[in-house]
């Protein structure tokens, strides 16, 4: 028995390749993220979280003419019933749908602090309130009660939610979208509602219309922030392929300021500048001033408010305003690129769509919605017709029906008589009445309606109203059947509805579509002048002019660690103990007064004062014309031609170091004849500079002295003819030129303290 059980267990083991399991699992995960979170459905243009938020608000009855409700309540309902993925993503989605500067047409009417165009976040959900906008009710949520879309079970199968909203407009185009899935992204710009509707109508009139012909109606993106699309000729390719890059430029105006000064006023910004990029735009302008790229800007004022965008740049009286404006376009976010990738879920799978593809999917969806809608309406009208005909017929034999009802013992007997003509157990006043009753053949619905009829409905005016209502029902049935059987009538119905939406919700275009030349400007040449690079012992550096230095020479020399004369257009090389060379552009340093502190060199270079020590500083101009001697703490040495460091990079590796080694000294070699190394343990060696070979900067070098374990070089001396430097060893002064002259790479001489 045990053996049989073991055999059954073994038969259940499935052997498979690990890579196959991982591949399938990863694909399943990627598709789940893509379909359930990141990418919108082409039919309603909504991601699942957006769809669920709007539906939850619809279920809460938060219509545009009803009171606002706390956002926390909306988020709670959405999370508890439909979207169990955390409140932050739900609230963020609610906030974005309420921000008119992000959406072509906002879908949620927010009350309270819902953030700003400058990137300020919304207040907590417990403080804000919201309700639906009318456009959401009329174009996304209408007809949900007419069986136009399928409903599916929610995550715990306690509620039902629509698989898609019955959108009457291509929301994917009108409001655009952005999302990052696994291995895929979507980024669709918003478009003008009126233009999109005209494009849909053009396609419905001519299904063979090309993308180029569609663009006669849909000119291009229409960003809520306005601005100018500058590459109109590229749009056709973008809309045909679904991918490409749109260049957007902010709108500027020139205003007259005080005292003859001019103002460049930014009134519209690129869509991509929304949020933190506005701050970056202002920072970039300041950086241009600090880098001496322009000295025409007097002041920058951010005057953005709820009424609109207004950034004022005040310029000098005689400045070339047009040249400065072109510089801002070229060097800042005033002109930016919007990367288009029109990816959406179509027919249950992700697909990159062209402009025409999106419109085709939308029109097909509209036809499906209207088919289901009018089938539902037709069924209701047919049911009404049946009951109305029964009531009208009942009016003609009203006395007989009253006689049947009064003569019946219960409702079942009366109903059977009305539907089948069964007169048993009914007391009639005459045989004629009984014979007439036997001829009755009302339907079940008609019979029930007759039995439910109130006596007040039997007055003459009510009967006339019933007849008129019946005539209306017959007209509706004829109309609905025509819509369902005649494709042209169906399309006319859709177009009529679209015209109504355009009339009520259409807005003028905000973004201009043009072909503009690339902005160009003439950068002012900086007048070269000799200045001084000054750095104190804390690593703060600045640039001062020669006159200031001459007036305060003694004070400057006493208070600062490094003082180097250099051209204001030059560069300073900073060699560090870990073998790097960083360069500092003098133009990146502020021209300071005597008492100004300056800036940390960490801020103007890749130097990191926490992990690096500067051991040699010089101008790049001086470095490239010399040979440099490198000495490490482990006694490795080499000479390097300075031209090796003539590079444009901000940081290069100046030398290769052995493990646990660091640079001790770098010195230019001009006419020095000997070099002396002194170790921590008191060993010294002196030999000819010529014994140190010239190497590349990428080499480690050669050994200058054989050190005992734990010992390291502490001092390096270079001696020319007649030099006699003194070093202190264990408290005693030692003349360096008296150290025995020997060959490189020996143990050296033990100095006595």
By annotation, the residues acting in catalysis are: 127
Buried b / exposed e over 240-271, threshold 16 CB at 10 Å, is: bebebebbbbbbbeeeeeeeebbbbbbebbbb
Angle between helical axes of 193-205 and 355-396 (0-180°, round to 10): 80
Alpha-carbon torsion, ordered 202, 205, 209, 214, to 10 deg:
0
From the number of C-beta atoms within 10 Å of its C-beta (0-12, 13-18, 19+), residue 651 rates as: middle
The answer for residues whose C-beta is within 8 angstroms of residue 294's C-beta and 6 or more apart is 288, 324, 327, 524
> 248, 268 in Cβ contact below 8 A?
no
Containing 676, the helix (H) or strand (E) segment is strand 674-679
Q: Where are the alpha helices (DSSP H) in 408-529?
A: 411-420, 431-438, 444-452, 460-485, 487-505
- The CB density around residue 682, as the number of other CB atoms within 10 Å, is 17
End-to-end CA distance of the chain: 93
Neighbours of 44 (CB within 10 A): 26
For residues 611 and 578, is the Cβ–Cβ distance under 8 A? Answer: yes
DSSP, res 455: G
- Strand ranges (E), 586-672: 599-600, 614-619, 627-632, 636-641, 651-653, 663-669
CA-CA distance, 48 to 38, in Å (whole number)?
Answer: 8
Residue 55 to residues 35, 121, 140, 415, 719, Cα–Cα distance (Å): 18, 24, 10, 43, 86
Joined together, the tokens standing for residue 245 give 């890059």
Nearest-Å Rg of the Cα atoms of the chain is: 42
Which single residue is written with the structure tokens 């355009």? 502
The neighbour count for residue 624, using CB atoms within 10 Å, is: 15
Cα distances from 281 to residues 223, 278, 320, 686, in angstroms, run 19, 5, 21, 59
């Amino acid at each position: 028995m045990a053996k049989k059980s073991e055999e059954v267990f073994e038969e259940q083991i499935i052997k498979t390749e690990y890579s196959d399991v991982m591949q399938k699992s990863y694909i399943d995960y990627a598709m789940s993220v893509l379909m359930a979170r990141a990418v919108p459905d082409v039919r309603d243009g909504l991601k699942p979280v957006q769809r669920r938020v709007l539906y939850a608000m619809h279920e809460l009855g938060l219509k545009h003419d009803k009171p606002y409700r706390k956002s926390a309540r909306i988020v709670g309902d959405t999370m508890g019933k439909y979207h169990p993925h955390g409140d932050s993503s739900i609230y963020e989605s609610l906030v974005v749908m309420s921000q008119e500067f992000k959406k072509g047409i906002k879908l949620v009417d927010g009350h309270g602090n819902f953030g700003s165009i400058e990137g300020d976040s919304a207040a907590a959900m417990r403080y804000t309130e919201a309700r639906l906008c009318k456009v959401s009710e009329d174009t996304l949520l209408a007809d949900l009660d007419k069986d136009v879309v399928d409903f599916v079970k929610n995550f715990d199968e306690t509620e039902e939610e629509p698989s898609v909203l019955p959108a009457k407009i291509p929301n994917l185009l009108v409001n655009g979208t952005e999302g990052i899935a696994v291995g895929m992204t979507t980024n669709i710009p918003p478009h003008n509602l009126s233009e999109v509707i005209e494009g849909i109508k053009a396609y419905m009139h001519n299904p063979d219309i090309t993308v180029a012909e569609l663009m006669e109606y849909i000119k291009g993106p229409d960003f809520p922030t306005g601005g100018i699309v500058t590459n109109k000729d590229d749009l056709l390719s973008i809309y045909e392929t679904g991918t490409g890059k749109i260049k957007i430029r902010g709108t500027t105006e020139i205003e007259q300021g005080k005292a003859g000064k001019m103002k460049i006023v930014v009134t519209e910004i690129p869509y991509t500048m929304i949020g933190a990029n506005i701050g970056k735009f202002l920072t970039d302008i300041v950086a241009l001033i600090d880098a001496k790229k322009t000295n025409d800007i007097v002041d920058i004022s951010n005057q953005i408010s709820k009424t609109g965008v207004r950034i004022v740049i005040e310029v000098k009286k005689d400045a070339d305003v047009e040249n400065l404006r072109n510089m801002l376009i070229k060097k800042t976010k005033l002109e930016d690129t919007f990367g288009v990738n029109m990816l959406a879920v179509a027919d249950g799978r992700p697909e990159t769509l062209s402009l025409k593809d999106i419109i085709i999917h939308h029109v097909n969806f509209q036809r499906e919605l209207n088919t289901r809608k009018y089938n539902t309406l037709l069924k209701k009208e047919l049911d009404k017709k049946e009951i109305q005909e029964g009531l009208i017929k009942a009016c003609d034999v009203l006395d007989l029906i009253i006689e049947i009802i009064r003569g019946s013992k219960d409702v079942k007997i009366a109903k059977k008589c009305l539907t089948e003509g069964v007169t048993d157990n009914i007391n009639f006043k005459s045989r004629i009445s009984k014979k007439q009753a036997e001829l009755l053949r009302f339907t079940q619905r008609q019979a029930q309606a007759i039995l439910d009829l109130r006596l007040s409905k039997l007055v003459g005016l009510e009967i006339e109203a019933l007849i008129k209502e019946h005539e209306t029902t017959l007209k509706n049935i004829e109309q609905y059947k025509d819509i369902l059987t005649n494709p042209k009538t169906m399309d006319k119905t859709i177009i009529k509805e679209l015209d109504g939406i355009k009339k009520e919700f259409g807005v003028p275009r905000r973004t201009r579509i043009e072909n503009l030349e690339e902005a160009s400007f003439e950068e002012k040449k900086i007048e070269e002048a000799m200045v001084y690079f000054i750095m104190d012992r804390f690593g703060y550096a600045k640039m001062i002019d020669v006159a200031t230095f001459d007036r305060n020479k003694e004070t400057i020399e006493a208070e600062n660690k490094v003082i180097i004369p250099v051209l204001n257009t030059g560069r300073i090389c900073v060699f560090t103990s870990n073998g790097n060379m960083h360069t500092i552009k003098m133009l990146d340093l502020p021209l300071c007064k005597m008492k100004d502190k300056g800036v940390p060199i960490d801020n103007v270079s890749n130097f990191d004062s926490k992990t690096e020590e500067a051991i040699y500083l010089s101008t790049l101009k001086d470095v490239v014309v010399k040979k440099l001697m490198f000495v490490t703490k482990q006694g490795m040495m080499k000479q390097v031609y300075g031209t090796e460091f003539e590079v444009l990079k901000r940081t290069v590796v100046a030398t290769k170091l052995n493990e646990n080694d660091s640079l001790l000294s770098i010195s230019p070699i001009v006419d020095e004849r000997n070099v002396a190394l002194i170790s921590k343990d008191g060993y010294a060696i002196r030999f000819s500079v010529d014994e140190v070979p010239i190497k590349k900067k990428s080499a480690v070098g050669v050994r200058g002295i054989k050190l005992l374990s734990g010992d390291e070089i502490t001092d390096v001396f270079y001696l020319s003819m007649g030099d006699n430097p003194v070093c202190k060893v264990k408290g005693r002064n030692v003349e360096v030129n008296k150290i025995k002259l020997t060959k490189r790479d020996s143990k050296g001489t033990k100095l006595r303290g």
